[in-house]
Amino acid sequence: AGFASALLGGHRAAGSKSDVRERTLIAVKPDGVQRRLVGQIIQRFEQRGFKLVGLKMLQVSDDLLSQHYCELRTKPFYPRLQEYMTSGPLLSCVEYLIVWEGHKVVQASRTMVGHTNPLEAQAGTIRGDFSFHISRNVVHASDSLEGAQREIQLWFQKKELLNWDCFDQTLTCE
Ligand code: ADP
């Protein structure tokens, strides 16, 4: 196990099993899907070492979107956000919802995704590399542990999330 953890990096330092079971919700928004960025976005999280435990594509309804963004419903930009995220008459709005698991995955994902406004997002972040406008910023990432739990529950049924052992984590986190 010593050799494996030296090879695979940090997971032993991550501590207890519950620590590495943290989960977050990432959504590839309709502009990301239209621009065929889904593969590259998934790749970044895999590369970082996170484990994919849930994945679906869907067309989001106004109702579910307003539950997801319950804190933003009264903001002046909400109608624009709704138009961006939900299926219009052309049925062109598809998103991918992805649940990732791993040590401090909520915080790490926010860093990987970058600032809400792509103009302020650093190069190397998803928004900094792939977008330039706040209302087309490619991805969503839960902003807290509580937010992640709420959003995952909203979008996924329990049976749609898989508990599976990843070789590196099984080796190094016992
Ligand atoms: P984040 O997605 O970084 O967590 P928020 O939760 O504040 O940011 O906002 C949700 C989404 O609403 C943003 O990702 C963006 O697509 C959109 N949005 C936020 N602020 C604005 C704004 N001022 N104008 C247009 N769209 C906005």
70-123 pLDDT per residue, tens? 999 999 999 999 999 997 666 789 999 999 999 999 999 999 999 999 999 999
Angle made by CA atoms 139, 141, 144, in degrees to the nearest 5: 165
**Does the annotation flag 110 for ligand binding?**
yes
Rounded to whole angstroms, the Cα distance separating 66 from 78 reads: 9
Is CATH 3.40.50.2300 the classification given to domain 2-172?
no
Rounded to whole angstroms, the Cα distance separating 52 from 7 reads: 21
Please give the ipTM for the structure prediction: 0.98
Q: How far does residue 172's CA lie from ligand 1's centre (Å)?
A: 38
pTM equals 0.89
pLDDT tens digits for range 132-173: 999 999 999 999 999 999 999 999 999 999 999 888 765 444
**Does the annotation flag 3 for ligand binding?**
no
